[in-house]
Amino acid sequence: MSAPNMPKVAGIDSTVPAPAHTGPPLDDLPAAPGALIRDRLAGWVSDLTTLHELTERLAGTGSLDSALKELLRAGAALVGARRGLVVLEPADGLGPGTTLGLGLTHADLGHLETVPRRASSYGRLLDGPTARTEPVASPDLLRDTELDPRQREVAVRLGYGASYAVPLVAGTGTHTGAASGLASGGAASGPVSSTVSSAASSAVSGRLGAAVWLYDEPAEPVERQRHLVGLYTRYASQHLSRLLELERARIRMATIAEELLPSRLPRIPGIQLAARHRTGPYGGGDWYDALPLPEGAVSLSVGSVSGSGPGAVAAMGRMRASLRAYAVMEGEDPVAVLSDLELLLRLTEPARTATALFAYAEPAQGKILLAGAGHAPPLIVGDRRTEFVETSLSAPLGMLACWEAPSVELWPAPGETVLLYTDGLLRRTGDPMDRAYARLHGAAASVPPSARNDPGAVADHVLRTVLPDGPGGPGGRNAEGAWNPDSAEDVVLLAARFD
């Protein structure tokens, strides 16, 4: 006969002991080895998938700015922060350097820059021979008794209570910001590490900069988050180093191209000149020139050498220098000038072709005599007309055994501007040629009357209208930061306004 059960009364425990054979609660049972292994593998797969997605997005960036922004976004997701900044400051001192923020305005970045470098977390990673190579964690800034007073003031003003900074160091043997291993913290150190280590060697080695993420409240990333962000920043550093070298090469190429073009345009009575030049990411062979000639005349020329890179830039310099010599000798005959240039190109650059437009202008008479070789026609912009100049069709230089085409006379009215340009202006639009010409004509026709007295203002308006800048715009990079296919072309625009 079983013992009677005691009534259940609030606050009184039953005095009947539990049977001896009753087992412990299920929650206290040790997990089966298979369940632990499954949980560990699931964590590894999750971490590997996350890193793969983030590194794929980073690899799709094509410029330093876009890569740095993606680095900030991914790092913030990995460490659980909302805001951050990245400081690009290569240790070799060759630049370029920049500071970008995530969730921070320009004013916020300005406040952060007022903190002494020795006290800032990125300063401790970047400055001096004793710069740290491990992450700098500040889990509770306001309770830190050694905190710099200015840093405390900025933290209160911007409303952040903690920070976590990691160095960006390029080099296959450097593993910055990573913990001793995710295997001890529940993540996949083996597969993930091998994936990140497969990145190609850096183009620029050494310290590149530092990334800092800011927490709204006192906080600190756990071991697993530290290791994930360490693996990610190691891959990001490799990617940034390659983009950095590409950017340096682009800057060098653009500098050389600019040095080969006129440093200033001549001042000639009766005519005002202005030029605009945009170099593509690979460096092209577009040029412009304006050369004073005897009796108050001036030669105007624009042209483009086929190809890109250092070879095209060097060929452009030789072509422009030769064209100047031919302009001095026989500038009054544009056809003869281009014929001489074609012969030179065929003898010295047999593998290249070029387009060119040469004009002999007499401002006092308001007359222009021009000839073109496979080049886009000039455009006249005035109060009463906006029209393309009808020129004869001609093959580019270097494509025929003997080049020759008739010249054309222009009589621009006082106040009208003649625009000479290279076909890069049309190609960068990404439109078919007929639409590109229509866009150019519409841009020139829409020049405000107040701007038509200044050839520089006319050129700027045309460029802004034909090639709008910004994400996705044909005038530069796309939303992912990569150069648009049609924006690889150089652009030259030479404007001559007749008084």
pLDDT grade for 4, boundaries at 50, 70 and 90: very low
Rounded Cα distance, 172 and 167, in Å: 15
Instruction: Give the closest residue to 351 by CA, choosing from 306, 318, 303.
Output: 306
Rounded-to-integer distance, Cα 27 and Cα 5, Å:
27
pLDDT band for 470, please (50, 70, 90 cuts): very low
If you average pLDDT over every residue of the chain, what do you get?
A: 82
pLDDT digits (tens, 9 = 90+) for 61-120: 988 999 999 999 999 999 999 999 999 999 888 888 999 999 999 999 999 999 999 889
> Two tokens at 391?
């020129």
Closest CA to 384 of 429, 354, 351, 414: 414
pLDDT at 253: 80
CA atoms in the 13 A half-sphere facing the CB of 419: 33
Does residue 7 have a pLDDT over 60?
no
pLDDT tens digit string along 289-345? 999 999 899 999 999 998 877 888 888 889 999 999 999 998 899 999 999 999 888
**Cα-based distances in Å from 262 to 256, 325, 461:** 12, 15, 22
* SS (HEC) of the chain: CCCCCCCCECCECCCCCCCCCCCCCHHHCCCCHHHHHHHHHHHHHHHHHHHHHHHHHHHCCCCHHHHHHHHHHHHHHHHCCCEEEEEECCCCCCCCCEEEEECCCHHHHHHHHCCCCCCCHHHHHHCCCCCCCCCEEECCHHHCCCCCHHHHHHHHHHCCCEEEEEEEEECCCCCCCCCCCCCCCCCCHHHHHHHHHCCCCCCCCEEEEEEEEEECCCCCCCHHHHHHHHHHHHHHHHHHHHHHHHHHHHHHHHHHHHHHCCCCCCCECCEEEEEEEECCCCCEEEEEEEEECHHHCEEEEEEEEEEECHHHHHHHHHHHHHHHHHHHHHCCCHHHHHHHHHHHHHHHCCCCCEEEEEEEEECCCCEEEEEEECCCCCEEECCCCEEECCCCCCCCECCCCCCCCCCEEECCCCCCEEEEECCHHHHCCCCCHHHHHHHHHHHHHCCCHHHCCCHHHHHHHHHHHHCCCCCCCCCCECCCCCECHHHHCCEEEEEEEEC
Domains defined for the chain, CATH in brackets: 46-252 (3.30.450.40), 261-498 (3.60.40.10)
pLDDT, tens digit (0-9, with 9 covering 90-100), for 134-181: 899 999 998 888 889 999 999 999 999 999 999 999 875 444 333 334
Please measure the distance between the N-terminal and C-terminal CA atoms of the chain and give it in whole angstroms.
Answer: 123
Q: What is the pLDDT of residue 44?
A: 73
Q: What is the pLDDT of residue 63?
A: 87
* Single-letter residue type at 474: P
pLDDT tens readout for residues 443-452:
999 999 989 9
Q: What is the pLDDT of residue 338?
A: 92
As a whole number of angstroms, the distance between CA 439 and CA 430 comes to: 11
State pLDDT tens for residues 177-236: 333 343 344 444 444 344 334 334 446 778 899 999 999 999 999 999 999 999 999 999
Looking at the chain, the whole-number percentage of residues with pLDDT higher than 70 is: 81
Cβ atoms of 92 and 84 within 8 Å: the answer is: no
* Residue 380, both tokens: 């006249």
pLDDT of 279 above 60: yes
Claim: this prediction has a pTM higher than 0.75 = no
User: What average pLDDT does the segment 458-465 reach?
Assistant: 94
Residue 282 confidence (pLDDT): 67
Give the pLDDT confidence score for residue 49 in this predicted structure.
Answer: 87
Q: What is the pLDDT of residues 411-433, one digit of tens each?
A: 999 999 999 999 889 988 888 99
What distances in angstroms separate CA 390 from CA 12, 370, 406, 447, one per listed residue?
107, 11, 12, 22
